[in-house]
Amino acid sequence: MLETEVAESLIRMGHALRTHHPAPGREKSFGGPWWQNPNGIWVDADDQLITTLYSTDVATGIYSPGGLIITTQGRKQAMGGQTIRSSTTGSAVTNVEPLYESLLVSALMTSYSINAVRGQSFVTCILQRNAGPNVQQQLVMYADYVSVNNPFVGWPYGRRIDPREGPGYTHTVTGGAPAAGANISDASPANLNRRLRTVSFTLTTSATVATRRVLWQVTDGTNLIWQASSQATQAASLVYTYQFGTAWGPEEAAVLPLGANSIITDSIPDLLLRPGYIIQTAVASLQAGDQLSASLYSVEEWISP
Amino acid sequence: MATTTTTLTPVDGRLQQALYDIAHAFRRGITVPAHLRAYGGPWWQSPQGLWLDLDDALTLTFYGTAGFPSPVTVGFRVIDTAGRIVSHANQAKFTLEGGAHRKVLTQFEGLLIAHHAVVPASAPPRGALYVRSGVDRNVGPNDFFIPVLFAGYLSQYQTLIGWPGSGLIDPLEGPGYTNTIVGAAPAAGADIAYSTVVNYTYRVRSVSATLTTSATAGNRQVVFVFGDGTNNIWRASFSPAQVASTTRTYQLGSRLGYEELATVPLGANAIITSSLPDLVLRGGYTFASSTTGLLVGDQWSTQDIAVEQWISP
């Protein structure tokens, strides 16, 4: 959009103009005592702050990078004001903030999301020197999750962590609904790592006489890393719920009542799923009229390849 | 991974250029040649760094993982004795895959204010590429190494590590690389004998392997054994014996909690499952089968070992 291009350029121009014509109220002279020099990093006109957001909070997540500099005239001046958001789950969105000769004393990312919890929105900020042919990425200013409960991360005093460090985003994922007579096959999405907590799905068998046995499998896309074969079988015209719990312990050999239906429970190891991992069923003697439901996965999730 | 940016592509190039030129003209210091600037900070801002001279060197050691070729760029930034800021942004570029690599960057007299290693966004996942850098003083007979400047993993989401700021992270700290190791199938009639790779540490999530027995009559009784290279540290005995002309998959799950005492159908074959403690295997540890009654025509498959792994001896 041309309008957006013009606005972007005007922002850049205004950004430069503020150096020389400070807007009232937005800048203050550096007036600390002689024994208190400000701490910061000296930057100049070919440096820039590159802020990158990776978020699964696509619907409501609005994030704003910013910072504070002390100009060569000793004035404190705020930077930023732009907003960025993820358009695709977990993919990178980058904001570039050009700098000019000054002392960079802080850099900050603010989350205006009303929903994002930890594990959903990871932000990194890098100070890049010499934008151009001799470009040099010098310093990671911060790298951390922002959330409703922790809406600010920044430098200094912020952290530089890997997105898989610490607790992730706990939520429930609904897998794809297979067609009648078809098995479940759910691939883990790009850019996310998931720790499985529980899995459940239902098999409703048709009136066709057959002995079905559920085999539940996890692959890394190539190699089979776990499979659970139900000890109990399922006959015609029945509704069984199958559920798996991480490190739950027992394995039920027989079905138990679940209202008018039945349930079979099994334990699974503490599995981590990277993008491309596949959870699938291979039900023995599955009939054309049998219907597997979509799986419900309770997961802990992190932004990570 | 697709990357988008808010630095927009101009639709009307002339207008965009004109506005940009106006903004550019207001920036200070732009007339100084691109990568060489006099240090021009105010009196109240002294640069912080580490003074180096001609017999010092920056020494980086990289540890990679096979299967992840990764281009690495290392550089540093100094203020020289004339007060000029000099960037060596691309002091070394190389592609690393597996094993340890050492890079030595010779220095000159000046104040080291930044030092870094960078990988592209296509870098391997965390746990697969580790780097450590420090200053080697008095390169030569009186050589000694001062404390490390930075140490940690480079990955897709941490493409830059450097000093100051990044800190010192032990390779066993934090999450590792989620991977599936495929052990080689032994010869017919032989047991599994897999050794973990030196310089890596693994947390085992699950193990599975399939035994196909020949037509020769006999009961085969399977035990999986984990060892540290000398001692056996865990044994998993599967109680149902396997007879001739059958195929059975044996699997272990970390903290699974139960042990099957009978085989369960697995399609046309059968599976038997048991639990495994939260095992951590260092390099040189072993995973083996010990099959009582194994016969010449019996065949063990490859082994799928799901692990979380770190670069660490």
pLDDT digits (tens, 9 = 90+) for A38-92: 788 888 888 999 999 999 988 778 889 988 888 877 777 888 878 888 877 878 8
For B236, residues 6+ apart whose C-beta sits below 8 A from its C-beta are B223, B224, B225, B252, B274, B276
- The per-residue pLDDT for B14 is 60
User: Which chain A residues in 170-189 lie under 8 Å from chain B, judged by CB atoms?
Assistant: none
> Residues of A numbered 53-72 whose beta carbons fall under 8 angstroms of chain B's beta carbons: which are they?
54, 72
Q: Determine contact: A132 vs chain B, CB below 8 A.
A: yes
Q: Residue B13: inside a domain, yes or no?
A: no
Task: Answer yes or no: is pLDDT of B3 > 50.
Answer: no
Q: Are residues B190 and B269 in the same domain?
A: yes
Residue from the list B16, B44, B87 with its beta carbon closest to the beta carbon of A130: B87
Among B26, B41, B260, select the one facing A19 at the smallest CB separation: B26
CA angle B189, B194, B196 (to 5 degrees): 175
Domain A41-155 falls under CATH 3.40.50: no
> Is the minimum CB–CB distance between A84 and chain B shorter than 8 Å?
yes
DSSP state, A7?
H
Is the Cβ pair B4, A303 closer than 8 Å? no
pLDDT number for residue A29? 53
The mean per-residue pLDDT over the stretch A268-283 comes to: 96
Residue B306 forms contact with A (CB below 8 Å) = yes
- Domain containing B105 — which CATH number? 2.60.310
* Number of domains into which chain B is organized: 2
A162 touches B: beta carbon within 8 Å: yes
Q: Residue B173: count other Cβ atoms within 10 Å of its Cβ.
A: 14
Measuring CA to CA, which residue among A165, A82, A157 is closest to residue A118? A165
Q: Which residue has the higher pLDDT, A218 or B40?
A: A218
- Hey, is A249 helix, strand or coil? coil
| Candidate from A117-126, B30-39, B274-283 with smallest mean pLDDT | B30-39
Report pLDDT digits (tens) over B215-252.
999 999 999 999 999 999 999 999 889 999 999 999 99
Q: Determine the length of chain B.
A: 313
Pick from B163, B190, B217: which residue ends a domain?
A: B163
A225 with B304: Cβ contact below 8 A:
yes
Nearest to B274 by CA among B263, B288, B290: B263
Tell me, what CATH number does B304's domain have?
A: 2.60.120
Peptide bond into B175 cis (omega under 30): no
CATH number of A169-303: 2.60.120
Dist CA A246 CA A299 (whole Å) = 10
Residue of B nearest to A73 (CA): B42
Nearest by CB to A270, from B7, B125, B254: name it: B254
Within chain A, which residue ranges are assigned CATH 2.60.120?
169-303
Choose one of B137, B163, B189: the last residue of a domain: B163
Find all residues with CB under 8 Å of A166, minimum gap 6, and list them.
Answer: A118, A145
Position B91 scores a pLDDT of 63
For A84, the 3-state DSSP assignment is strand
CB within 8 Å: B34 and A130: yes
Are residues B193 and B150 part of one domain? no
Return mean pLDDT, chain A: 86
Q: Give the mean model confidence (pLDDT) for residues A22-50.
A: 68
Per-residue model confidence (pLDDT) at position B64: 86
What is the pLDDT at residue A264? 93
Among candidates A243, A241, A271, A265, which has minimal Cα distance to A253?
A265
Predicted confidence (pLDDT) at residue A171 exceeds the cutoff of 50: yes
> A271 and B205 in contact by Cβ < 8 A?
yes
Final residue before a domain boundary, out of B139, B163, B187: B163
- What pTM did the predictor assign? 0.80
Give me the domain span that covers residue B267.
177-311
Distance from CA of B162 to the nearest CA of A (A): 6
